[in-house]
Amino acid sequence: MAGFAGVAGLRLVLPDLPAWSGLLFGLVALVSALWFISRRFAWIMPWYYVLPAIVFLLTFTFFPVLLTIWLAFTDYAGARNGQLNVASTTAVVAADGTTLTLADPAGLACGVLRNGCVDVRADVYSFELLAVEVLGLEDAVLTLAEPLPRGRQPRQVELFLPDLGFAFSTLLAEVDGTRLTLGRAPPVEPDLESVRVQMADEVHRRIVAIDGATLQLDAPLPDGFEATAIARYNEYGFIGLANFVTILQRAQRSLIPVFAWNVSFAVLTILINTAFGVLLGVLLNNPDLRFRNLYRTLLIVPWALPNIITIQVWRGFLNEGFGIINRVLMLFDITPEPINWLGVAMAAKGAVLLVNLWLGLPFMMTAVLGALSAIPRELYEAARIDGASAWQGFWGVTAPLLRTALVPITLTGFAFNFNNFNLIFLLTDGGPPVDWGTSTARGTDILISWAYNEAFRTQGGFAYGLGSAISILIFVITVAVSLVNFRITGALKEESNT
Amino acid sequence: MIHPDRRAFVWLALVVVGTLLGVWALLGNLPEPVVRNRFVVVPNGWAFLLGAFVLLIGGTAAAAYTYGLAKRPGRAAAYALTAGTHMFIWGVILTTFYPVLYLVAVSFNRNDTLASTLPREGHLLVRAGVIPNPAEISLAQYQKVLSQTHILPFQWVLVGLLVLAVVGIVGLKLAERLAHLPAYRADAWTRLLGIGIFVLAAITVVSITPAQFYGITDAGVRVPPSSERTILLYIRNTLLVSGMTGIFAVLIATTAGYAFARMRFEGRYGTLLSFVFVQMFPGFMALVAIFWLMVRLDLLNTFTGLILAYSGGAIAFSAWIFKGYLESVSPALEESAMVDGATRWGAFWRIILPVSTPMLLFIFLLQFIGTYSEFILANTLLQGQEMWTVGMGLRNFTSGRFDTQWGALTASAVLGSIPILLIFYSFQDALTSQQTAGGVKG
């Protein structure tokens, strides 16, 4: 906060200061203030050790999370993002007090807003085309004979292209004295004799009512302001629980199947990985086995490779026509036909589980080995003296102790895989599309990739409110799983007593 | 009557010969391959393969059993089990490694796209396309992805020194084992070289700039590089971001972890809980909020912005791990220092930090590896091609074009994996044991 105030003050003196310098100023102000406070209140000392972490956590984690939760109760979307909608610029044919008459009211595109264009911010412009004398044009920089008149903002430049026979207009990127930098360079040589700069004046108003082509503003326009155009803002607003209601209404085609696959994916992948992990772990735990450290080192290679790379490579291996998985399967006649791994929902689900086994087996194997090495050898000897066979020793000693040790690991694995976005996004991209789903909830989409699709890939920009609502659901589930985990492991128990 | 030992050896020889004959008969009598759906198919090949594998395991186990009968009859079953396990494990290793080896083999192959038709000549495995044609080994793919990279002379020197340092560490390990170099000496040198590698790598990464990546046309004009040929830049970007995130997280989280472990204060439990739970929110779903924040801080499309966006989760995680570590360290050291007149901060700075350097290095590495594989935040916050990370660069191959450029993709994947592979295997024990110890976050 101090930083923003500091920057606001400093910007008056140095207008080019970048905004992030606020963080620096805030830090300096904070440190000096803290030093004084600590001399007065000794009890605050522990907080000083935690403070740097808390500052960053508040700024870059808590704050975005809170903002996201707020957005879950709004209709925020690409078409409603709070920004000025330049595309909605519509010509004004007449202005009288607070009443404007529009040439084409459809241009405002009020339909995408919740209440139409009622109680919506707008910019009213007064445009004028100014003929200017140009000395030259080079690399999208236009050099004028004299600077533009003060008072109004230059917005666009209109150049006539004699070769093509029409005018080319582009927004101005920068104005520096007589040098105008164009947003886009003209495609062909323009006629430099007839260059016109669009000068604009604008006032901020609020649209209070709209009826056909007539529109009411909240306040009259200033004297002498000739309104020529108006553009509205992409207003968004609080809509209560409507996003959650939408999710429930569409649950049949998205929430329920996605949730079911999400849970079964996490459970199945943990079951499969644990089964193979226990098998390998028990085999490698055999003290008679020579080279077992070498084997262990070799077998963890999928864990040692960055998964962002291996997952994308697997995507190629699973290609239907030339991937090696199908080539091997076909070579040994294991499947009669090549499997369309990424194109059929069931096969894609199998591919996800298969790749996750390859990726996750080293972790499980190491975890099992760690748990097994913690079992004292004396237990086995005691069992053998009591006359137990090796098989009985396994089921009587190893299995129960292993089970206790594996519960927290499988729960952690469940929580991790429940939100394993990288795997789904980079391997199958949620696909393939299925007829029981929607365009955002497809064959292998899990909750988090579905939320991502809703938020960032739906038509017309992003339905971020809806995506945020799903994220809250995911958060609740993850926290619940973790609470169970903490209760079992007692990871937080001793903390609460102190 | 034959001596029992001898008889067992006869059996052993019979089992070995029988097994080899059986495997040879199975694999030698594969049915004639046919072509089906443009795939090479050996009819019922799976039965032959499975038969050979089972025969191999069984034969090895039986051989070991007979050998055990001769040596220590009481342990013969254990011998059989162990030998069978060896064969089985090798089967698993082969299966696990096959995709990796295939990837490396393709990266050293001249063929750019494997979608081309299968070769008509060569070994059955080559004709089936399950291994790349060894006759076409070449460095063409690496030359291609590195062709627009222009490394400066002093960077070659840095790389040379890096290689020397790595060779030095390997040499030390060998000397320790073979020439009986005292362990404390080897450790001291290894530490020195390790620090050297870290510093050299950091200088190398920082010294590489986007300006070193350009193409040159036939006319000798410099043109912007193609996005498929700047993998080294993507690796440098990723290393920079991961390294800075790791350092940053360790710097900020250390004091917090210390306070949580050693101090008792009002609000400690609540703060700790919020540290644990806030990172369970699907971080990147706050993308729009983070995007909004970065636009307002003028940090969009900068590494600083991305590092700060990562910092929240990284700090919470690191503080939690460091707190757990300190709780396993006896407080006696600091207490005695404080009795001798050191302040809290003095005790932390002079005693705790030096003692926990290995742990801090480890937290850094965990963070580094985790950040290296992050995709979606980087994809949203970084926009220019010269800012891409490794993941984004590879994604460009798999979804950017209709025809996946397999050769270039695999060469890039191999190059991009090397840094993490080296780090992981250098610190294998620490990394694997800690992550499986069942912390709060795997």
Check if the beta carbon of residue A474 is closer than 8 Å to that of residue A451.
yes
| Helix-then-strand count for chain B, H and E | 19, 4
Mean pLDDT across A48-62: 86
- Nearest CA-CA distance, residue A217 and chain B, Å: 29
Q: Which residues of A touch B296 (CB under 8 A)?
A: 19
The tally of domains found in chain A comes to 2
> What pLDDT score was predicted for residue A4?
53
> What pLDDT score was predicted for residue B94?
93
> What pLDDT score was predicted for residue A17?
65
Residues in chain B, total: 442
Residue A323 and residue A212 in one domain: no
- The share of chain B scoring above pLDDT 70, in percent, equals 93
- Nearest CA-CA distance, residue B23 and chain A, Å: 16
Bridge partners, A143 (sequence order): A136, A179
Neighbouring C-beta atoms of residue A291, cutoff 10 Å: 12
Q: Decide if A306 and B438 are in contact by the 8 Å CB cutoff.
A: no
Q: Considering CB atoms only, which of B96, B272, B399 is closest to A302?
A: B96
Task: In whole angstroms, give the CA distance from residue B229 to residue B148.
Answer: 6
Task: In whole angstroms, give the CA distance from residue A280 to residue B308.
Answer: 41
Q: Which of B89, B110, B138 is the last residue of a domain?
A: B138
Residue A273 and residue A321 in one domain: yes
- Nearest CA-CA distance, residue B103 and chain A, Å: 8
> What is the distance, to the nearest Å, from the Cα of residue A257 to the centroid of all Cα atoms in its chain?
23
Q: Is the pLDDT of residue A41 over 80?
A: no
Single out the residue of A494, A493, A497, A496 nearest to residue A485, CA to CA: A493
Q: Is A462 on the interface with B (CB under 8 A)?
A: yes
Q: Which residues of B touch A76 (CB under 8 A)?
A: 288
Burial call A39-62: b when 16+ CB within 10 Å, e when fewer: eeeeeeebbbbbbbbbbbbebbbb
Residue A13 lies in a domain: no
- Nearest CA-CA distance, residue B391 and chain A, Å: 6
Check if the beta carbon of residue A225 is closer than 8 Å to that of residue A196.
no
- Nearest CA-CA distance, residue B424 and chain A, Å: 6
Q: Considering CB atoms only, which of B88, B103, B442 is closest to A283?
A: B88
Residue B132 and residue B256 in one domain: no
Q: Which residue has the tokens 């085609």?
A: A253
For A71-116, the pLDDT digits (tens) are 889 888 877 878 888 788 888 888 888 888 888 888 888 888 877 8
Single out the residue of A364, A370, A366, A368 nearest to residue A399, CA to CA: A368
Give residue B401's pLDDT band: very low, low, confident or very high (50, 70, 90): low
Q: Say what the ipTM of the complex is.
A: 0.89
Q: Decide if A321 and B376 are in contact by the 8 Å CB cutoff.
A: no
**Burial (0-12, 13-18, 19+ Cβ within 10 Å), A106:** exposed
Residue A128 and residue A191 in one domain: yes
Residue A213 and residue A261 in one domain: no
Residue A224 lies in a domain: yes
Q: Is A307 on the interface with B (CB under 8 A)?
A: yes
Residue A226 and residue A253 in one domain: no
- For chain A, give the longest Cα–Cα distance: 107
Q: Is A260 on the interface with B (CB under 8 A)?
A: no
> What pLDDT score was predicted for residue B202?
92
Task: In whole angstroms, give the CA distance from residue A425 to residue A441.
Answer: 13
Q: Is the pLDDT of residue A440 over 90?
A: no
Q: Which residues of A touch B372 (CB under 8 A)?
A: 306, 308
Strands (E), A249-325: none
Check if the beta carbon of residue B295 is closer than 8 Å to that of residue B333.
no
Single out the residue of B386, B371, B352, B369 nearest to residue B422, CA to CA: B369
Q: Which residue has the tokens 């990726």?
A: A359
Suggest the residue from B116, B125, B288, B371 to mutate for an interface test with chain A (most A CBs closer than 10 A).
B288
One-letter amino acid at B429 equals D
Asked if the bond preceding B134 is cis, omega within 30° of 0, the reply is no
Check if the beta carbon of residue B394 is closer than 8 Å to that of residue B410.
no
Bridge partners, A132 (sequence order): A195
Task: In whole angstroms, give the CA distance from residue A154 to residue A74.
Answer: 36
What is the SS3 assignment for B222?
Answer: strand
Q: What's the sign of the alpha-carbon dihedral B394, B395, B401, B402?
A: positive
Task: In whole angstroms, give the CA distance from residue B263 to residue B347.
Answer: 13
The structure tokens listed for A382 are 């005691």
A 414-433: CB under 8 A from B: 415-416, 419, 421-422, 425-426, 429
Task: In whole angstroms, give the CA distance from residue A441 to residue A447.
Answer: 9
Single out the residue of A481, A450, A431, A19 nearest to residue B293, CA to CA: A19
Q: Which residues of B touch A478 (CB under 8 A)?
A: 280, 282
Phi and psi dihedrals of B221, rounded to 5? -90, 135
Q: Which of A235, A268, A287 is the last residue of a domain?
A: A235
What single-letter DSSP state applies at residue A429? T
Domain that holds residue B68: 4-138
Residue A290 and residue A333 in one domain: yes
Q: Which residues of A touch B413 (CB under 8 A)?
A: 309-310, 312-313
Residue A409 and residue A448 in one domain: yes
Q: Is the pLDDT of residue A22 over 80?
A: no
The structure tokens listed for A229 are 């155009």
Q: Is A495 on the interface with B (CB under 8 A)?
A: yes
Residue A348 and residue A399 in one domain: yes
Residue A26 lies in a domain: no
For chain B, state the CA radius of gyration.
Answer: 29
Residue B128 and residue B252 in one domain: no
> What pLDDT score was predicted for residue B290?
87
Residue B252 and residue B389 in one domain: yes
For A142-197, the pLDDT digits (tens) are 888 888 877 777 878 888 888 777 888 888 878 887 888 887 878 778 888 888 88
Phi and psi dihedrals of A144, rounded to 5? -95, 160
Residue A309 and residue A427 in one domain: yes
Q: Which of A235, A265, A281 is the last residue of a domain?
A: A235
Residue A379 and residue A488 in one domain: yes
Q: Is the pLDDT of residue B308 over 50?
A: yes
For B56-95, the pLDDT digits (tens) are 888 888 888 888 888 787 788 888 888 889 999 999 999 9
Residue A470 lies in a domain: yes
What single-letter DSSP state applies at residue A387? T
What is the CATH classification number for the domain harbouring A292? 1.10.3720.10
Phi and psi dihedrals of B229, rounded to 5? -120, 20
Q: Which of A174, A204, A235 is the last residue of a domain?
A: A235
Check if the beta carbon of residue B122 is closer than 8 Å to that of residue A328.
no
Task: In whole angstroms, give the CA distance from residue A106 to residue A117.
Answer: 11
Mean pLDDT across A385-390: 80
Q: Is the pLDDT of residue A7 over 60?
A: no
The tally of domains found in chain B comes to 2
Residue B188 lies in a domain: no
What single-letter DSSP state applies at residue A145? S
Q: Which residue has the tokens 């342990």?
A: B75
Residue A205 and residue A325 in one domain: no
> What pLDDT score was predicted for residue B5?
63
Check if the beta carbon of residue A25 is closer than 8 Å to that of residue B243.
no
Count CA atoms within 13 Å of residue B346 on its CB side: 9
Q: Considering CB atoms only, which of B39, B436, B440 is closest to A366?
A: B436
Residue B416 and residue B274 in one domain: yes
Q: Is the pLDDT of residue B187 over 80?
A: yes
Residue B189 lies in a domain: no
Task: In whole angstroms, give the CA distance from residue A440 to residue A257.
Answer: 12
Q: Which of B138, B173, B207 is the last residue of a domain?
A: B138
Residue A265 and residue A412 in one domain: yes
Q: Is B420 on the interface with A (CB under 8 A)?
A: yes
Residue B145 lies in a domain: no
Mean pLDDT across B176-181: 82
Domain that holds residue A162: 86-235
Q: Which of B86, B120, B138 is the last residue of a domain?
A: B138
The residues, ordered by sequence, that sit 6+ positions from A109 with a Cβ below 8 Å of its Cβ are: A85, A87, A88
For chain A, state the CA radius of gyration.
Answer: 33
Q: Is the pLDDT of residue B3 over 60?
A: no
